[in-house]
A and B are shown apart, each in its own frame.
Chain A
Amino acid sequence: MNFAIDFEAFLSSLPFMGKGMLGIFLVTSVIVLFVNALNNLPEKKEK
């Protein structure tokens, strides 16, 4: 069983982590803005 730790690989993979989380928050923030806009839609009055 090999549990060797590669410190260089750790450093090189950190940018992916940053980009990944940033990407998710970016997409989510755009959806939040859109949903907030939807919340302000004029409601159709029920008969």
Chain B
Amino acid sequence: MIKDVLIGLWEASGFHALFLDDGTFLWQNLVMILVSFVLLYFAIAKKCEPLLLVPIAFGILLANLPGAGLMDDPTGIMDTSNLIAGAHWYDTGVLRLIYAGVKSGLFPCIIFLGIGCMTDFGPLLSNPMSLLLGAAAQLGIYVAFVIAIVLGFAPEEAASIAIIGGADGPTAIFLTGKLAGHLLGPIAVAAYSYMALIPFIQPPIMKALTTEKERKVEMKQLRKVSKIEKIIFPVVVLVICAFILPSVAPLLGFLMLGNLFKECGVVDRLSDTAQNALMNIVTIMLGLTVGATTNGQTFLQWETIKIVILGLLAFCFSTVGGLLLGKLLYLITGGKVNPLIGAAGVSAVPMAARVAQNEGRKYNPKNFLLMHAMGPNVAGVIGSAVAAGFLLAMFGAK
């Protein structure tokens, strides 16, 4: 009797679940649990992107607890590979249910709503040419796409990996959720890691591609933008982009709705909710479920290393694209544009703009590039959303 109870207890335990029926030991789960501990340490002790890293690390921990089944999908709501006869939707793991918000694109869109509420398009409106820098800084997306194809990834996978170069976490999650959900874990982790590492990745490239004379350029003060311009901008830009490329509408639509909340001045409560409470709630769910996609058996593969390397290449080439157009504008305008602001076109608001500001100040302490760099920086958000829309139109389900 007692023996049966003990055997039942053992068979129901996580220790037993670490071994498959054929005796295979699932060491990968243990490694991922250790990885989650390390990430929690960095998030809490070193304060590295804690708002994202704590939920992501905890999601990794939860998804890799053997036998817990938080990402189980017995009814094939999103994954038909492990169907169990007679199972109901409510037998689905709780994190898998929340994951529906990632797979459907709901969470990235809501995050974009909050980002829209916090974005000031004023610097971009006062210097429209900065939009072109935001476009050029998407170069890395397509370079990484070509390299990923050459390395043998399917086009949908290559497109999802390449979007890391857009330096925009929600966009990367949105596109990967649609095109290659099985790569969501490594792509999201790579995208957010590189965004945090921008102050280390960009400066050497900026220094290599610009001369000291170019880095010292002081740009003239931006003009003041009227309120009516700021109100018209999000509405008309959405209509223009969605008519040219309808697949861009979900991301850009929510971004511009959020921005209209901010600029119109008559829905302050909605703006406040979208950029604070709502965004915080969705950040918890997004972080947890993105972390939960890093199941040990699928995450600890050579493909993950390739994705991490390709993501870094995408980031570097995006920076190169922005800088090269910056240099071209420097030549065309007779030295009135500091090419360093081109590097801010990689999105990652406002970190990339701060890097441009800091690098400019190193060579000219009187220089104040922050507001000039914010133009390409917010243009990069539009640019990466357009690039994602293009890739979705090319490789998404018809």
Contacts and interface: CB of A to CB of B under 8 A. Distances in A.
Q: Do A and B bind each other?
A: yes
B152 A6 contact: yes
B141 A13 contact: no
B143 to A, nearest CB: 7
Interface residues of B, number: 43
Nearest to B133: A28
A12 to B, nearest CB: 8
B245 interface: yes
Contacts of A27: 135, 240-241, 244-245, 386
Interface stretch (B210-218, B229-237, B266-274, B346-354): B229-237
Contacts of A44: 226, 228
Contact of B150 (A6, A19, A35, A43): A6
Interface string B300-321: 0010011000000000000000
Interface residues of A, number: 35
B131 A35 contact: yes
Query: Interface residues of A: mostly helix, strand, loop or mixed?
Result: helix
Contacts of B382: 28, 31
Given A27-B244, A32-B131, 20 more contacts: A2-B152, A4-B152, A9-B152, A13-B155, A17-B142, A17-B146, A19-B390, A20-B138, A20-B145, A23-B245, A24-B138, A24-B386, A26-B244, A27-B241, A28-B131, A28-B382, A31-B131, A38-B232, A39-B125, A39-B128
Contacts of A41: 226, 228-229
Interface of A: 1-7, 9-10, 12-14, 16-17, 19-21, 23-32, 34-36, 38-39, 41, 43-44
B383 to A, nearest CB: 6
A21 B150 contact: no
Given A9-B150, A17-B145, A32 B240 contact: no
A25 B125 CA distance: 17
Contacts of A4: 151-152
8 contacts: A5-B151, A13-B146, A13-B155, A20-B391, A21-B142, A28-B379, A39-B125, A44-B228
Query: Interface residues of B: mostly helix, strand, loop or mixed?
Result: helix
Interface in B131-186: 131-132, 134-135, 138-139, 141-143, 145-146, 149-152, 155, 158
A31 B240 contact: yes
Top 10 A-B pairs, shortest CB-CB distance? A35-B128, A17-B142, A28-B135, A13-B149, A1-B302, A24-B135, A32-B128, A10-B150, A13-B146, A20-B142
Contact of A38 (B146, B149, B233): B233
Contact of A35 (B135, B233, B245): B233
A7 B145 CA distance: 14
